[in-house]
A and B are shown apart, each in its own frame.
Chain A
C-alpha cells in the first residue's frame, strides 16, 4: 500500500511538473517569437541601434530561459537555435548589402524553431505517433 501511495505521488508530481513546464515553454516561446518579430522589423526599417538592442534582448532572454529548456528539450535543437542566433549577429556586424536577406532567413529559422520546440513537447496524437 505504501509503495502504491509513493508511486501515485511520484506520478502526480510528474504530471504537475509536466503541465507547468509545458505552459512555461509555450509562454517563453511566444515571447521569443514576438522579440524576433521586433528584430525583423528593426532590420526591415534599417534601424541599426534598435536592431542591436533587440538582439541583446533576445540573447539575454535566451540565456535566462535556456536553463529550463536544456532540462526538457534535446540539446541538438537548442544548439540549432544558438547557431542561428550567432549567424544573425555575425551578419548584422558584417553589414554587407546582401546580408539582410541572410539575416531575415536566420530570423525565420529561429522563429520556426521557437514554434517547433514547444510544439514537440505537447501531448498530441502527432507527437505520440
Chain B
C-alpha cells in the first residue's frame, strides 16, 4: 500500500472540503482582525486591494482538495505582513503615505469647479454631479467645497446659506451632550461601562431592585443616558424610564 491510512475521524470524504473551508475561514478571520479596523473600513486603496486578493486566494484551496492547504495559508500571511508594513510605514512617513495613498483633491473650491483637478482624476462632471446628488446636493451651486478623498469618497461642505441651521446660528447655548452607557446587555453587567459612568454594581442592583428587578437575567438592556436616567427593558417587553 502506497498511502498510509487516513487519520480522519469518520472517513467521510465530503468533510474534507468542509474542514478545509473552516480552517481557511478561521485564518482569514484572524488575519483581518490582526490587520485592524482600518482594513475592515478599507480606508485606503491598498487595503481594498488586500481585501479583494484575500478573497480570491482562499477560494481556490478551499474547493480544490488536490492543492496543499499551505497554498492558501502562505499567501494570506504574506499579505498580512505587506499590509501591516505599509500601514506602519505610512504612520512613520507622510511622504510614504502620499506615495502609496495619494493626496485628497479639491474638486470644488469656494463654489467653483476646479476643472483641472477633475481632468487629472479622470472624474467627469457627470460623475461629480452624481456623487453630489448621492449626498443630498441636487444643485452644484449649493456646494462650497467638494474634496475627493484618497479612498475615493467625496467630502462635501455646503455654502453657509444652504447648510442646516445650528443652535449656534440661533444664538442658543447647550450643555455638553455626554454619551449614554449600556450598563446591562442580555442580562450581563458591562463592567467597563459601569466604571466609565463612575458607578458600581451595588448601585445598579440597588436601582433595579427599586423597580422590582431582583434577577439581572430579567433585564435585556439597561442604559444610563446623558441626563442620568436609567432606562431598562425587562423580558416582559415593557420599556421603563426612571430618573437617577
Contacts and interface: CB of A to CB of B under 8 A. Distances in A.
B77 A74 contact: no
B4 A63 contact: yes
B141 to A, nearest CB: 47
11 contacts: A3-B36, A4-B88, A7-B80, A10-B80, A63-B2, A70-B68, A71-B70, A73-B68, A74-B66, A74-B68, A75-B67
Interface string B1-27: 111100000000000000000000000
A66 B68 contact: no
Where chain A touches its partner, the secondary structure class is: helix
Given A7-B34, A85-B2, A86-B2, A14 B77 contact: yes
Contact of A6 (B2, B34, B74): B34
Interface of A: 3-4, 6-8, 10-11, 14, 59, 62-63, 66-67, 70-76, 82, 85-86
A11 B84 CA distance: 12
B115 interface: no
Interface residues of B, number: 20
B183 to A, nearest CB: 30
Contacts of A14: 74, 77
Interface in B40-73: 65-71
A6 B30 CA distance: 12
Contacts of B96: none
A63 B84 CA distance: 40
Nearest to B69: A71
